[in-house]
């Protein structure tokens, strides 16, 4: 039942919204940088910060390792929480140099579970950031969940409101085929419906999921 519902949700969202073309980013390194910068801010601000890094020719592991943290913070200022995020970018790059000679290519053969554990051990990298990096930068079949995912899943009776990140991730990951492209598109579609319809105050009228059983509790 859960399996069928999750598949139907995907189909309805895809029929309405079409492909979302995530994750915007020209290189693996840019996707990772975006995943770290997007915490607690919107994507437009991240784009400005990434544009600054690009014009300063800093969108690479070596250049980010060598730049002063203060200078980096100034460049990524548009992304908000720039001092904290500069340290997080530095932590990621330090981990990459300490363990993998600063090369993302070295991560290709690391098993997904191990890579996830290592990413989560980097200061400031939480589950959503780690999973976004795994899915969008490394094409690993890991389902990314967030507040939008939780809202839709709870309102459609797929999970209890108290469910934590891992339970929510498991709901999707263990009931869907392990398909990177599907996971990629599904997450993006949930974000889209969450922003446009499934807001804190739900706008069910006209929502692509309106015909499925749901309860918004208000």
The residue ranges that bind ligand SF4 (CB under 6 A) are 152, 155-156, 193, 197-198, 202-204, 207, 209-210, 214, 216
**Smallest distance from the beta carbon of 147 to ligand SF4, in angstroms?**
13
Query: Measuring CA to CA, which residue among 74, 196, 61 is closest to residue 205?
Result: 196
CB nearer ligand SF4, residue 17 or residue 81: 17
**Smallest distance from the beta carbon of 209 to ligand SF4, in angstroms?**
4
Please tell me the distance from the alpha carbon of residue 47 to that of residue 25, in angstroms, as a whole number. Answer: 10
CB nearer ligand SF4, residue 35 or residue 153: 153
**Smallest distance from the beta carbon of 172 to ligand SF4, in angstroms?**
15
**Smallest distance from the beta carbon of 170 to ligand SF4, in angstroms?**
20
**Smallest distance from the beta carbon of 151 to ligand SF4, in angstroms?**
7
CB nearer ligand SF4, residue 113 or residue 161: 161
**How big is the chain, counted in residues?**
218
CB nearer ligand SF4, residue 21 or residue 211: 211
**By the 8 A CB rule, do 207 and 168 touch?**
no
CB nearer ligand SF4, residue 177 or residue 217: 217
**Smallest distance from the beta carbon of 47 to ligand SF4, in angstroms?**
27
Alpha carbon distance, N-terminus to C-terminus of the chain:
26
CB nearer ligand SF4, residue 64 or residue 207: 207
């Amino acid at each position: 039942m859960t399996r069928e519902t999750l598949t139907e949700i995907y189909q309805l969202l895809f029929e309405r919204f079409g492909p979302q073309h995530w994750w915007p980013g020209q290189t693996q390194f840019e996707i990772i940088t975006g995943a770290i910068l997007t915490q607690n801010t919107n994507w437009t601000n991240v784009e400005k910060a990434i544009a600054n890094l690009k014009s300063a020719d800093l969108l690479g592991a070596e250049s980010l390792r060598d730049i002063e943290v203060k200078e980096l913070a100034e460049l990524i200022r548009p992304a908000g929480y720039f001092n904290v995020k500069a340290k997080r970018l530095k932590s990621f790059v330090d981990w990459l140099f300490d363990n993998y000679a600063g090369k993302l290519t070295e991560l290709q053969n690391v098993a997904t579970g191990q890579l996830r554990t290592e990413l989560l051990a980097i200061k400031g990298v939480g589950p959503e950031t780690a999973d976004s990096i795994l899915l969008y930068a490394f094409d690993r079949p890991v389902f990314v969940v967030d507040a939008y995912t939780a809202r839709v899943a709870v309102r459609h009776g797929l999970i209890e409101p108290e469910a934590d990140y891992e339970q929510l991730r498991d709901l999707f990951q263990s009931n869907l085929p392990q398909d990177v492209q599907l996971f990629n598109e599904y997450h993006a579609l949930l974000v889209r419906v969450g922003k446009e319809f499934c807001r804190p105050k739900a706008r069910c009228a006209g929502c692509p999921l309106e015909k499925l059983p749901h309860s918004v509790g208000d």
